[in-house]
Structure 1
Amino acid sequence: MLVVMRHDATPEEIEGVMRTIREMGYEAQATPGRQRTAIGLIGNDGKVNSDRVESLPGVLEIIHVSQPYKQVSREWRPENTVVTLDNGTRIGAGEVCVMAGPCSVESEAQIIGIAHRLRDAGATILRGGAFKPRTSPYSFQGMAEEGLKLLAKAREETGMAVVTEAIDNESLDLVAKYADIVQIGARNMQNFSLLRRAGRAGKPVLLKRGMAATVKDLLLSAEYLLAEGNPHVILCERGVRGFDTHTRNLLDLTAIPVVKSLSHLPIIADPSHGTGLRAKVTPMARAAVAAGADGLMIEVHPDPDRALSDGAQSLFPEQFGELMEQIAVIADAIGSRLVPPLVPREARAAGSA
């Protein structure tokens, strides 16, 4: 249930509504808006009798939230959530942000070198795995904290923000220490203890859709993060399992407009995992931008044929540069634009001299 207050409601009237909700045995959360304050009632499994609340001073109307996910829904918050990073990148503000980088951090030369090339091509967020949950226990599992340190060094040199995956509670603490965005991967989308901990980590969270998850499942998982007090959540469509073997997964582009109609949270697309094939990444990335995605996550490797993981779906740097030019045209055609490129550190230093 959402209690919408009058635009001239006093702080005392707002507190009176919150006190009444607590007396009814629920939690109350006030969300100030541009014109008026809304108070959300949290902790109910079904419809709540609103008689005690709707007649209180300052109350304009009562909205019964029909979705099982409360704080994630547009009924709860009609305005889009915008996640703003320290380097100025805004996700969900009507611009297309691009996260790019290798599947795994493999060496200092690899991650620093590719970060510079990605920044110069227009990406503002660097992706790279330090912890890799692999299907086979014999596959490369990542460089762990050493990989996180290299990502932080790449951020220092390029100004790019860093997004990387946490695979359990132990790795989450390390990721939150080094990264700008904590990624919860598809395999952990319904790891509820990890979601709760990520919600308390104090960092924006990128939540990937599980391989067999519905949109409702994804939004309910996001609700765990918001329930812990973290409103800075980014959703990611990365493909679901299908029956056709021509691609690694089925990239569900319909999920982008569906999520935007149901939730205020931004949603990006990952066509690299969504297709698993380099030749299919660019066309599906273009399609995702046309469908209204708030951003893209693209795997790019300086030498994909020698990548320690997911080389077959990684673009060459030259292909990534071409993709950036193409999606800029598409974004412009639908009334959007790419997130403005970062200013190189050398240029910033020269400008302040």
Structure 2
Amino acid sequence: MVVVMAPGATEAQVEAVIARVRQAGGEAFVSRGVSRTIIGLVGDVEQFRALNLRRMAGVAEVIRVSTPYKLVSRHHFPSRSTVVVGGSGGRPEVRIGPEYFTLIAGPCAVESLDQILETAELAKAAGATLLRGGTFRPWSSAETFRGLGRSGLHMLAEAGAATGLPVVTEAADARDVEAVAEQADMLQVGARNMQNFALLDAVAQSGKPVLLKRGIQATIEEWLMAAEYIAQRGNLNIVLCERGIRTFEPTTPATLDISAVPTVQRLSHLPVVVDPTHASGRRDLVLPLARAVIAVGSDGVLIDVHPDPESALCDGPQALAGADVRVLASAIRRLAPLLDRDTADVTSVLVPEPR
């Protein structure tokens, strides 16, 4: 069962609902979003119904939800949610949700200050409104570049400040969340950590929006349950990211599950973006998949860009640069409005003239 609080509900009214539920032997999980506060109830549903919570001050609605992911379920939201990123430190607010198409772009890893500054300018010129860059990088090979850590965080924050772009980066360990949250506007949970519950607990309590990638072998329900775990700990500002799943096909590192976008949008009110870069692992597939992602109704894309992919310390073969970035910018500018999506202004010099 879920209690949806009215937009103007006070903290005292929220606490009164929690107290009544606990007196009845139940548990209450409060989650606050941009425009809504909801309370998920765990316990005897029939006993909760007898509490007559609907008549309490500040309560807008009480809904019985049958899915195990109650707080992120679409059942109690007539419209899908929008998550706001940024708005502090002089950087603008970026909205990710059903009315927008958001380009999140940057290098797979921050390698140096010059590299991230140049990449940030490239991303912004392509129409990106969020700058991503890896600083703490979990990887399957011990020989792969694992990021610059905290020094990379400072470089990423400097690039964001220089370009006016809010930044998103991955926290790979619960012990690093506090440091990452001090520099980043949004915290990413990578595919390998989707069910790292200590990390989910830490990012939920950071107070920052969370970009939650789907695990490479995770079902949609498992993905939504990971989001529910974050929401139960008070943070409803979650953006889901489909990045491909493992199948029998070895041609690409993962198989991009395009059907997951409309499926999850039907099941959950949370925004859904797609990472075609890591799903394909190949530069020649990123642009076709990005076009498909726009057409299927995604709320945005996450793309690797790099000023010199051939010299990249990691994932160079999948990063876009030069002409590919111009084509991406053109595709977003032309296709996203066809689905009634607002996009950032794209620098005209980077967009090819129509033939």
Common fold by TM > 0.5? yes
Of 236, 242, 255 in structure 1, the residue corresponding to residue 260 of structure 2 is 255
Change in 2 beyond 3 A, CA 1:26/1:329: same
| Residue among 99, 103, 107 paired with 2:108 | 103
Shift of 1:341: 5.9
Contact 1:89–1:339, Cα closer than 8 Å, also in 2: no
* 1:337 and 2:335 matched: no
Q: Does residue 237 in structure 1 map to residue 236 in structure 2?
A: no
Aligned partners of 1:90 and 1:339 also within 8 Å: no
| Offset from partner CA, 1:122-179 (integer Å, 9 cap, x none) | 1111111111111111111111111111101101110011111111012222211111
Residue correspondence of structure 1 range 5-20 to structure 2 within 5 A: 18-20=18-20
Q: Is the 8 A contact 2:30 2:234 kept in 1?
A: no
Q: What is the letter of the counterpart of residue 295 of structure 2? A: A
Q: Which residue of 1 aligns with 2:169?
A: 164
1:129 aligned partner: 134
- Give the SS at the match of 2:333: helix
3-state SS of paired residue (1:268): strand
Highest CA radius of gyration, 1 or 2?
1
Q: What CA distance in whole angstroms lies between the structure 2 residues aligned with 1:167 and 1:10?
A: 35
RMSD: 3.0
Aligned equivalent of 2:182: 177
Whole-Å Cα distance in 2 between the matches of residues 250 and 272 of structure 1?
A: 11
Distance 1:170 1:61 in 2: 38
2: CA distance, partners of 1:299 / 1:10 = 42
- Aligned residue number for residue 309 of structure 2: 304
Amino acid at match of 1:267: V
CA–CA separation in structure 1 for the residues paired with 2:12 and 2:2: 18
Match of 2:83 in 1: 83
Gaps of 5+ in 2: 348-355
Question: In 2 relative to 1, CA 254–158 (structure 1 residues): closer, same or farther, beyond 3 Å?
Answer: same
| 1:237-280 Cα shifts (integer Å, max 9, x gaps) | 00000111121110001111111111111110000001111100
Q: 1:113 aligns with which of 96, 118, 122?
A: 118
Residue number among 133, 140, 145 corresponding to 2:145 in the alignment = 140
Q: Given that residues 29 and 233 in structure 2 are in contact (C-alpha distance below 8 angstroms), is that contact kept between their aligned partners in structure 1?
A: no
**Match of 1:74?**
74
Query: CA–CA distance in 2 between the matches of 1:137 and 1:27?
Result: 43
Offset at residue 190 of structure 1 (A): 0.1
1:18/1:103 Cα in 2 relative to 1: closer, same or farther (>3 Å)?
closer
Q: Is the 8 A contact 2:104 2:301 kept in 1?
A: yes
The farther-off stretch of 113-122 and 95-104 is: 113-122
The answer (yes or no) to whether the contact 1:103–1:299 under 8 Å persists in 2 is yes
Q: Deviations over 1:81-120 (max 9, x none)?
A: 2111221210114110111111111111111011112112
Name 2:350's counterpart in structure 1. none
Q: Mean alpha-carbon deviation: is it higher for 210-219 or for 325-334?
A: 325-334
Counterpart of 1:89 in 2: which secondary structure? strand
Distance (whole Å) between structure 1 residues aligned to residue 241 and residue 272 of structure 2? 5
Q: Distance in 1 between matches of 2:218 and 2:290?
A: 21
